[in-house]
Amino acid sequence: MEDFVNLTDFINTTSAKETKVPPYSERPETYVVPVVFAIIFIVGVVGNGTLVLIFARHRTMRNVPNTHIFSLALGDLLVILSCVPFTSTIYTFESWPYGELICKLSETTKDVSIGVSVFTLTALSADRFFAIVDPMRKLYSSIGGRGATRCTVFIAAAIWGVALLCALPAAISSHIREFKDGNKTLFKACYPFPTEFGMFYPRTVIMAKFLFYYAIPLSIVAVFYSLMARHLILSTRNMPGEMQGQVRQIRARKKVAKTVLTFVVVFAVCFFPHHLFMLWFYFHPRAQEYYNAFWHYFRIIGFCLSFINSCINPIALYCVSGTFRKHFDRYLFCCLKQGGVRRGRSSQRRTGTRKGWDSTSVPAQHSTLRRHDPAEITLTTFMNGTDKNAAI
């Protein structure tokens, strides 16, 4: 954990000469950060695990955008299971207690997960652009539903391959570094930068991560969404009445685009403080001199937010997608809903007996109405994958 080790090195050397550093037992982050990471672990496993289950059990959910969302969930699960339990304690122990293998594993999976997330969000934005902008619809219609999904699976696999390649430096160079004061070992830390490379190597890695894991992908996403917004504004002007079917399709695709945009905004907010701190700490010539309580807690907030991103996507998807919300409710709240249904049926029987109603007549009538509701038919069509590019 490069941010942890540099701060610890700073506290035990430069800063300790001028200020009294409180012991770990007196620092609030010693107790707050493990609690935050425990919440991240529980919410992340349940949320992303449910997303994977929904994708695996429901064939109608296996469309183009949902394939990318499935890939996002797998990447988040990877970092939550292999990294979060260990990094949650770096503010609790003075030295890294897990050995070099766990050090390499946690650093590598963290980089893989970040790469999968940001590259997948870029691919999702491109997919929304191709689905919405007129000239590229021909490409989708020529590929077809199943062909488009297979193409998306290939893209997702390529994204994982690129993310693994980008994580190779962490897998190779991460090691347990001993920080000493003369012959006395002060502490041991999981350190991703070989010391023999000097300061040039960590600065290069940090700048590369900022550019390829943050600035460049978000810039590409911004271009896609700017072009989409321009196209949608122009396409909705003076649209004739007979194009209402196309209007519904555009609205459905706009809804998916808004979902993707929500993921992008969440990612940008969660990783901005971390990147800002790392750039400041490594590139500002007087960073150690200016380091104070503000930067200390800013860094901790950025550290936590970067992992919160791994558990927040299912929450965001639950809030913005009605289709996924129904599946989440089915799997997560089925016991509560079944209890409510039993109580409702019991109450309905008692009410029906008193008033002389047939307890099945109202649901049957409701079902008949719904079969002839055009809005419901349209929604069912989208949910069943008729428009492979519009359904989430």
Q: Per residue in 187-237, pLDDT tens?
A: 888 989 988 888 899 999 999 999 999 999 999 999 999 988 887 777 665
Angle between helices 99-132 and 244-283 (to 10 degrees): 140
Confidence class for position 244, pLDDT limits 50, 70, 90: low
Q: What is the pLDDT of residue 376?
A: 34
Q: Is the pLDDT of residue 360 over 70?
A: no
Pairwise CA distance, residues 382 & 392, whole Å: 8
Q: What is the pLDDT of residue 27?
A: 84
Q: Which option is the CATH number for 2-327: 1.10.3720.10, 2.40.128.20, 2.40.50.140, 1.20.1070.10?
A: 1.20.1070.10
Q: What is the pLDDT of residue 359?
A: 33
Pairwise CA distance, residues 209 & 198, whole Å: 18
The Cβ of residue 75 has, within 10 Å, a number of other Cβ atoms equal to 26
- The stretch 336-363 carries a mean pLDDT of 46
Q: Is the pLDDT of residue 346 over 80?
A: no
Task: State the pTM of this model.
Answer: 0.77
- Residue 107, CA distances (Å) to 38, 110, 128, 170, 255 in order: 19, 5, 32, 6, 36
Question: What are the domain boundaries of the chain?
Answer: 2-327
Q: Write out pLDDT tens, residues 154-196.
A: 999 999 999 999 999 999 999 999 887 778 888 888 989 988 8
Q: Write out pLDDT tens, residues 66-93.
A: 899 999 999 999 999 999 999 988 888 8
**Token pair 């300790």 in the structure block, residue:** 16
